Amino acid sequence: MYIEKARVDSIQTLVPNTYLLKVFSPLIASKIKPGQFCNIKVSETDYPLLRRPFSICEVDGNYLHFMFDVHGEGTRILSSKIIGDEIDILGPLGKGFTYDGVYKTAIIIAGGIGAAPFPYLVESLPKDKEVHCYIGGRSKNNIIDYGMKNISVSTDDGSLGYKGTIVELFKQEYEKFKKDSVSIFACGPNPILKALQEFTIAKNIDCQISTECAMACGFGICQGCPIDNADGDGYYLVCKDGPVFDARMVRL
């Protein structure tokens, strides 16, 4: 784990309100794995006070990419960074995806900004794996297909692709993958993950979910980010034990 002052190389708008930030961060870039995250201090002052956790979106040599929506003061400040600005990044943090198992097809399921960790995962999958990406959003303006392959789309309002949630769409199409072994990798709003978790546990399909929770430190000392274990008799920490969990391990 490192704390690195990273220089902003570029920042672009992917879809309205969703940004892709590229920073020069060679130490973290050399170590970080798909599904892990970094905790970013967006200002040099005490406001906002805490770091903000962001999944690693892509690694390109010495550069890290982070994909984020603006939904509060921290992300607003981050979105206004310009080339040459320095940001303070702590990482790599947490446990990422396990993707080298015995399966034929990797199925990515992303809801909204839940697309963030997948470009790096898709890029890192062993070459013999097939990939199919299911991407959901509220409307066509929220569909983020950056870095994805073999895409199926759903929108809540039906403005693009299937009308409904991405998990509903996946459930309908699951039959076509059924004969082969699949491994599912998912990230998105809790109701989506919950519906997927129910389905994959019932069908006994391997599924890893990337969870999120408000946190302060990102490495286990604040104890601020508990998630119920499957039995409900204890907690894991999202930052240290996750953010990626086997869907069977946690209660959402």
Q: What is the binding site for other proteins (CB under 8 A)?
A: 1, 3, 41, 46-51, 90, 213-217, 219-228, 233-235, 240
Q: Which residue, 88 or 145, is less far from other proteins as judged by CB?
A: 88
Q: Which residue, 145 or 228, is less far from other proteins as judged by CB?
A: 228
- Minimum Å gap between C-beta 2 and other proteins is 9
Q: Which residue, 53 or 119, is less far from other proteins as judged by CB?
A: 53
What is the greatest pairwise CA distance in the chain? 55
- Minimum Å gap between C-beta 159 and other proteins is 25
- Minimum Å gap between C-beta 71 and other proteins is 13
Q: Which residue, 106 or 225, is less far from other proteins as judged by CB?
A: 225
- Minimum Å gap between C-beta 25 and other proteins is 16
- The 3-class SS string of the chain reads CEEEEEEEEEEEEEECCEEEEEEECHHHHHHCCCCCEEEEECCCCCCCCCCEEEECCEEECCEEEEEEECCCHHHHHHHCCCCCCEEEEEEEECECCCCCCCCCEEEEEEEHHHHCCHHHHHHHCCCCCEEEEEEEECCHHHCCCCCCCCEEEEECCCCCCEECCHHHHHHHHHHHHCCCCEEEEEECCHHHHHHHHHHHHHHCCEEEEECCCCCCCCCCCCCCCEEEECCCCCEEECCCCCEEEECCCECC
- Minimum Å gap between C-beta 95 and other proteins is 14
- Minimum Å gap between C-beta 242 and other proteins is 13
Q: Which residue, 22 or 52, is less far from other proteins as judged by CB?
A: 52
Rounded-to-integer distance, Cα 83 and Cα 71, Å: 22
User: Do the Cβ atoms of 108 and 146 come closer than 8 Å?
Assistant: no
Q: Which residue, 65 or 240, is less far from other proteins as judged by CB?
A: 240
